[in-house]
């Protein structure tokens, strides 16, 4: 009798474990399919790269480009080793006709392929598999983001003037040599306002990017959304109207969805990792999904974490569901991947901190800096996933968005004409505006980290609320203030401030000596604030740190300086 009870209990435990591994959306689809039918699935592996070790090794490299290349290579190596046993098993299954050839996503340590129901059940029993989800086609660009005719005047568009980008150009910063990847429905790379400053893909990628969805080298826009977003980043006015915040930035064109804005999550994630692998400095992604599955959420969270480790900033729209809270209630109102955390935690978020990622999320305001009626509402939460952070109840959740920008009736490029313009409205239009400001910042200091960029954007935005808001973030971005802050605070004038940290490296405490010291902030290399305290002396001590690499910001009467510190 006892043995029977034990066997029943064991069987139930196994069934529960399988249910935990198989995403509910996939289980529903399996219930609808016959045994012989193939289902497109995404498999997330359990193992994840040791980020502390990865960042510690990457921090020893002198430039952001070298660190990015190192991280890409290491993540690929880790993924290959992690998936070796599973791929051997899948190779045998493929010969039996049970699966199709798997494709690897190295940023999230996942694979996608088609499999039978029986194979899905077998995979769910493996110790190295965390989740199996349904790779379903979804709507990523909503139909409400339709174009309207734009006036024919030749001008610098109002949104550019509103954020003071034109005043930054007068200082000589135009985004030159900074590569911004537009992940969307493609880009009309023949438009005159883009044609002379597109990413050079050489002979392999003659059309300045890649069509991930159709797996070819021609990412031509067949919808209009991507060209419009690209124009807000870098339209230089050759055809008449200057629509771009960073008119000399190089546009990398990535097509991840089809002409009606639909596609699979894996193709968007693939577009993100393709962009990083091929050298982009910034990702601008004006797409997102409401009501995502658990697998889709974790796929994008893992991807955004890896993008952060590679030193790339991702600018992502919050979404346009703010007017439909009854259909998309908080904490699910902000779209994925916009619900992923930022690379820097604002002091207001420290009441409920969590891990970081590359996602700098953008909401929309009108001409009067009032929140657009459609802009999505935070907070979000990750307490119900493998990450288990940013608890919503109890807790304040993850404050979303980070900043906001003009997003109503924005004039930019029309994909149907190489000289034309059109107007569009949405957080999709606000997002490339902020990505363009980041390009201006990087053109002044190419070594800025994603945490630097996020922090400076937040600290220099026009404050719309006393604290960081779940509607407009910290406020509306100001390009001039942000670029001026780069000069004031991120190592460009360090020669005027004498600061010393010793011993460094240290296995114990550190001593800081800096004249006029007012405040000390210690950040991990991924941008998380670890310690912060006020000082009114020339010397202070830092202790109690875990092993790792840190950045120490020392604020003085003359400004502030940043130094690296290593705890052994």
Residue 8 domain-assigned (yes or no): no
- Selection from 30, 25, 22, 26 nearest residue 117 by Cα: 30
Residue 74, C-beta contacts closer than 8 angstroms, at least 6 positions apart: 49, 54, 57, 58
CATH number for the domain that contains residue 554? 2.60.40.1930
Residue 15 domain-assigned (yes or no): no
Cα separation of 428 and 363, whole Å?
Answer: 9
Cα separation of 247 and 186, whole Å?
Answer: 19
- Domain identity same for 113 and 154: no
Three-state SS string across 115-154, please?
ECHHHHHHHHCCCCEEEEEECCEEECCCCCCCCEECCCCC
pLDDT at position 566: 78
What separation in angstroms does the CA of 372 have from each of 26, 228, 432?
Answer: 36, 19, 17
pLDDT at position 7: 42
Measured in whole angstroms, the distance separating CA 114 from the mean position of its chain's CA atoms is 28
pLDDT at position 321: 96
Order across the sheet with 510-514: list the strands.
Answer: 499-502, 510-514, 539-542
- From 464, 489, 514, the end of a domain falls on 489
- Domain identity same for 207 and 98: no
- Domain identity same for 162 and 119: no
Residue 171: phi, psi to the nearest 5?
Answer: -85, -5
Helix (H) or strand (E) holding 255: strand 250-255
- Domain identity same for 123 and 173: no
Residue 258 domain-assigned (yes or no): yes
Residue 51 domain-assigned (yes or no): yes
- Domain identity same for 480 and 561: no
- Domain identity same for 321 and 176: yes
- Domain identity same for 155 and 106: no
Which residues span the domain enclosing 98? 21-135
Enumerate the H helices of 163-224 as residue ranges: 165-169
CATH number for the domain that contains residue 201? 3.40.50.200
- Domain identity same for 328 and 264: yes
- Domain identity same for 478 and 542: no
- Domain identity same for 81 and 211: no
Q: Is the separation of the CB atoms in 287 and 334 below 8 Å?
A: no
Cα separation of 92 and 448, whole Å?
Answer: 47
Q: Is the separation of the CB atoms in 216 and 317 below 8 Å?
A: no
- From 135, 157, 192, the end of a domain falls on 135
pLDDT per residue rounded down to tens, the chain (568 residues): 444 444 444 343 444 445 589 999 999 999 999 999 999 999 999 999 999 899 989 988 888 999 999 999 999 999 999 999 999 999 999 999 999 999 999 999 999 999 999 999 999 999 999 999 999 999 999 775 656 667 666 799 999 999 999 999 999 999 999 999 999 999 999 999 999 999 999 999 999 999 999 999 999 999 999 999 999 999 999 999 999 999 999 999 999 999 999 999 999 999 999 999 999 999 999 999 999 999 999 999 999 999 999 999 999 999 999 999 999 999 999 999 999 999 999 999 999 999 999 999 999 999 999 999 999 999 999 999 999 999 998 889 999 999 999 999 999 999 999 999 999 999 999 999 999 999 999 999 999 999 999 999 999 999 999 999 999 999 999 999 999 999 643 443 444 578 889 888 788 899 999 888 888 888 775 556 788 888 888 888 999 898 877 878 888 877 777 777 878 7
At residue 217, the 3 state secondary structure works out as: coil
Residue 11 domain-assigned (yes or no): no
pLDDT at position 11: 41
Cα separation of 7 and 80, whole Å?
Answer: 37
Residue 264 domain-assigned (yes or no): yes
- Domain identity same for 103 and 200: no
- From 85, 111, 135, the end of a domain falls on 135
Helices (H) and strands (E) in the chain, counts: 13, 25
- Domain identity same for 131 and 152: no
Residue 142 domain-assigned (yes or no): no
Q: Is the separation of the CB atoms in 67 and 310 below 8 Å?
A: yes
pLDDT at position 537: 83
Residue 243 domain-assigned (yes or no): yes
- Total structural domains in the chain? 3
Tell me the β-bridge partners of 522.
Answer: 531, 552
Q: Is the separation of the CB atoms in 321 and 335 below 8 Å?
A: yes
Crossing angle (nearest 10°) for helices 64-95 and 51-58: 140
């Amino acid at each position: 009798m006892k043995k029977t009870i034990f066997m029943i209990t064991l069987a139930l435990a196994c069934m529960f474990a399988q249910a935990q591994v198989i995403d509910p959306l996939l289980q529903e689809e399996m219930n609808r399919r016959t045994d012989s039918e193939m289902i497109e699935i995404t498999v997330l592996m359990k193992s994840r790269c040791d980020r502390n070790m990865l960042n510690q090794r990457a921090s020893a490299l002198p430039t952001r480009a070298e660190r990015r290349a190192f991280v890409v290579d290491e993540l690929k190596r880790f993924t290959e080793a992690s998936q070796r046993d599973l791929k051997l098993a899948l190779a045998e299954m493929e010969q039996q006709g049970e699966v199709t050839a798997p494709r690897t996503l190295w940023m999230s340590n996942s694979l996608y392929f088609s499999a039978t129901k029986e194979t899905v059940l077998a995979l769910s029993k493996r110790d190295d598999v965390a989740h199996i989800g349904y790779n379903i086609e979804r709507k990523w660009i909503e139909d409400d983001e339709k174009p309207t005719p734009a006036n024919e005047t030749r001008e610098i568009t109002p949104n550019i003037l509103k954020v003071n980008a034109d005043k930054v150009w007068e200082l000589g910063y135009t985004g030159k040599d900074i590569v911004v990847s537009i992940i969307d429905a493609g880009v009309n790379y023949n438009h005159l306002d883009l044609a002379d400053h597109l990413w050079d893909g050489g002979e392999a990628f003659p059309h300045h990017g890649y069509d991930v969805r159709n797996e070819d080298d021609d990412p031509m826009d067949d919808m209009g959304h991507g060209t419009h977003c690209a124009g807000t980043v870098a339209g230089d006015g050759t055809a008449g109207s200057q629509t771009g915040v960073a008119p000399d930035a190089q546009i990398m064109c990535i097509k991840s969805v089809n002409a009606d804005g639909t596609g699979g999550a894996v193709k968007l994630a693939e577009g993100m990792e393709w962009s990083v692998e091929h050298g982009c400095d910034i990702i601008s992604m004006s797409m997102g999904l409401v009501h995502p599955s658990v697998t889709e959420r974790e796929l994008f969270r893992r991807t955004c974490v890896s993008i952060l480790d590679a030193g790339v900033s991702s600018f992502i729209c919050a979404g346009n569901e703010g007017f439909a809270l009854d259909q998309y209630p908080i904490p699910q109102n902000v779209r994925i991947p916009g619900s992923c955390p930022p690379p820097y935690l604002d002091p207001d978020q420290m009441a409920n901190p969590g891990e970081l990622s590359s996602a700098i999320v953008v909401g929309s305001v009108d001409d009067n800096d009032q929140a657009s009626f459609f802009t999505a509402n935070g907070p979000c939460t990750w307490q119900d996933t493998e990450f288990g952070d940013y608890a919503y109840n109890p807790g304040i959740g993850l404050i979303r968005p980070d900043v906001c920008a003009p997003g109503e009736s924005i004039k930019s490029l029309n994909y149907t004409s190489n000289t034309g313009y059109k107007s569009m409205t949405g957080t999709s239009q606000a997002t490339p505006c902020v990505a363009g400001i980041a390009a201006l910042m990087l053109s002044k200091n190419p070594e800025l980290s994603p945490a630097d960029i996020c922090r400076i954007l937040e600290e220099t935005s026009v404050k719309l609320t006393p604290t960081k808001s779940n509607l407009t973030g910290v406020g509306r971005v100001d390009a001039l203030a942000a670029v001026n802050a780069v000069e004031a605070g991120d190592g460009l004038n360090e020669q005027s401030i004498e600061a010393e940290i010793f011993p460094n490296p240290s296995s114990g405490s550190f001593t800081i000596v800096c004249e006029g010291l007012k405040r000390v902030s210690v950040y991990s290399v991924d941008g998380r604030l670890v310690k912060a305290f006020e000082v009114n002396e020339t010397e202070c001590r830092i202790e109690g740190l875990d092993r790792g690499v840190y950045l120490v910001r020392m604020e003085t009467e003359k400004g502030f300086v940043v130094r690296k510190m290593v705890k052994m």
